[in-house]
Structure 1
């Protein structure tokens, strides 16, 4: 399990890596942490991971929308 000091920077994480780490954070929070400080650190990391995943999903949606628009454009011109 990754400790708080071994965490990779968010920018280096793929969507899948961030999602998996977020799942680990949730499990650790549900089990209860030994200290309030650790719980707060886990919560903050979880929030950052959730934002990172959201950014990945928004970016993927933009790419899909752009791909759909580019494939729809020639069909509209043919009409």
Structure 2
């Protein structure tokens, strides 16, 4: 998941992997972990905001991924229906 980078003064923000390097499953799992961390409520406001922003990014990424998967399924079904219609028309 994320790598925690802390400077001597504790001001360095959490380091997260770029979204484009994550599979859907990795993004979903990280989102679950971010929610767990936020629910603990044991961070500073800045740290909490950083995790909240990451959670929003991950949620949007997962939603876009699922929307793309739905479109692919719809296209495959339409292609199958078109092939079936062609086959039915031949007989």
So what's the TM-score if we normalise by structure 1?
Answer: 0.91
Count of residues in correspondence between the two structures: 78
Does residue 68 of structure 2 align to residue 51 of structure 1? no
Q: Distance in 1 between matches of 2:31 and 2:73?
A: 25
Name 2:71's counterpart in structure 1.
62
**Equivalent residue in structure 1 for 2:19, among 10, 17, 42:** 10
Does residue 43 of structure 2 align to residue 34 of structure 1? yes
Gaps of 5+ in 1: none
| More helix by percentage | 1
Q: Distance in 2 between matches of 1:41 and 1:47?
A: 10
Give how far 1:11 is off.
Answer: 1.2
CA deviations over 1:13-69 (Å, ceiling 9, x no partner):
111000000000000000013200000000000000000000110000011001101
Secondary structure of residue in 2 paired with 1:71: helix
RMSD: 1.2
Q: Which has the larger radius of gyration?
A: 2
